[in-house]
Amino acid sequence: MRYHLPVIILLFFIVTFGFSQDTIKLSTSTVVVVKSTTSLSSKKLKTGQELVLIVAADVVVKGKTVVKAGTPVVCVVESAESAGMVGQAGKLTISVQSTTAVDGSTIALSGNFYTKGESKTGTSIAAGVILCPLALLCKGEEGDIAAGAQSRALTLGEHEIVIPEK
Amino acid sequence: MTIKTVDILFRRSIFVLYFLIFSLAWLAPVTQHVNGYPAGENLYSLFSPVCHQYPTRSFWIFDRPWALCARCSSAYLGLALASFIPFAAFSYARRALFGIGLIILVAIDPLLQLFGFYESTNLLRFITGLIGGFGAFLLIYPIPFKQKERHL
């Protein structure tokens, strides 16, 4: 009987503090590093197509991880223009949309990946006029984003993230 | 105007230019932290054509990455600091050769990383960038380091 009180007090502390959850405020414009996992090309992608990239590094606020590295990031191809004739370069813009916090809530993001291939318009026209008109069919370079390329995305709005204590 | 005057002007210009670039790199996140988004975005955009700006390969200040990666930042700092060093009187050819040697030495780190041998660290990037900056200075600096007073 005499051991009951300490045990009850111990249980009280475990229940109160052991399983408590921290709430962290993720403020607006917090940097989230987004990384591509595969190479992306303006030749293969279409405008409006949805892509999944990943978070490159943990997002830590007040010593707590609110978004883990490797979490999928939803992105949309904002514009994809393939390289064209007369040396026209390809362009690719990918807009970063959202990711998921450790508590499962969706975090809206703002950011983009942009790339433009090398234009060969001058060379194509010069060669087409001087040497052979077929040179006008020469295409510019595609807009490519290499695998592992990173970009800075910022959070939109404030979010309350619930972090379960271990 | 003596060569010495030209030398001093050249060195000072190099220092001001490259130290300004280095300073703007860390001013971008500081500006954004103090004034909030979108302040500082112009600086990030300014440097985007010259550096990949990968955040995990950059130094961070106030939870934001610098506008230049660790290697580029230190390369510009290296260029600025090299303008102070009174090197021995080498001919330009020897100096340039030494500069190229340093740059090749520095290129080993990113190349090994590119081919997947290991993942470099920001400290290593900083050191190699600094050495590369010194190498670049030796390459671009056309005036003999030590010479007698001579009028142009």
- Characterize the bridge pairing of strands A91-100 and A144-145: unpaired
pTM for this prediction: 0.80
Residue B145 in domain = no
pLDDT at B124: 93
The answer to whether A107 touches A86, Cβ cutoff 8 Å, is no
- A29 Cβ under 8 Å from any chain B Cβ: yes
A156 touches chain B (CB under 8 A): no
* Residue B114 included in any domain: yes
Mean pLDDT of chain A: 86
- Whether residue B94 lies inside any domain: the answer is yes
In the structure encoding, which two tokens stand for residue A37, read together?
A: 């996992």
Which of B43-81 are b and which e, b meaning 16 or more Cβ less than 10 Å from the residue's Cβ? Answer: bbeebeeebebbbbbbbeeeebbbbbbbbbbbbbbbbbb
Cβ <8 Å between A56 and B56: yes
pLDDT confidence band for B92 (50 / 70 / 90)? confident
Residues of B in contact with A154 (CB under 8 A): 37
Instruction: Let me know if residue B65 belongs to a domain.
Output: yes
Nearest chain B residue to A31, by CA: B64
In this structure, what is the dihedral angle of CA atoms B4, B10, B11, B17, given to the nearest 10 degrees? 160
What domain range includes position B86?
Answer: 3-140
pLDDT in tens, A30-80: 999 999 999 999 888 999 999 999 999 999 998 999 999 999 999 999 998
* A150 Cβ under 8 Å from any chain B Cβ: yes
Q: Quote the pLDDT of residue A54.
A: 96
B37 touches chain A (CB under 8 A): yes
Q: Does residue A93 register a pLDDT over 90?
A: yes
Is residue B152 a part of any domain in this protein?
A: no
pLDDT band, very low/low/confident/very high, at A121 (cuts 50, 70, 90): confident
What is the total count of domains within chain B?
1
Contact list, B55 vs chain A (CB under 8 Å): 31, 33, 56-57, 150, 152
Q: Indicate the residue of A28, A29, A33 with minimum beta-carbon distance to B55.
A: A33
Angstrom distance (rounded) from CA B64 to CA B68? 12
pLDDT digits (tens, 9 = 90+) for B31-87: 999 998 889 999 999 999 999 999 999 999 999 999 999 999 999 999 999 988 765
Q: Do the Cβ atoms of B56 and A30 come within 8 Å?
A: no
Is B151 within the bounds of a domain? no
**Residue A27 touches chain B, beta carbons under 8 Å:** no
What are the chain B neighbours of A56 within 8 Å (beta carbons)? 55-56
> Long-range contacts made by residues A133-138, C-beta under 8 angstroms, separation at least 24?
A136/A85, A136/A86, A137/A85, A138/A85, A138/A86, A138/A87
Choose among A30, A33, A154: nearest Cβ to B56.
A33
Hey, how many other C-beta atoms are within 10 angstroms of the C-beta on A68? Answer: 14
Question: At A16, is the pLDDT very low, low, confident or very high (cuts 50, 70, 90)?
Answer: low
Residue-level pLDDT at B122 = 93
pLDDT at A101 over 80: yes
Query: Mean pLDDT throughout B111-118?
Result: 85
Model pLDDT, residue A124:
76
Nearest in space to A142 (alpha carbons), one of A88, A70, A62, A86: A88
In a domain, B150, yes or no: no
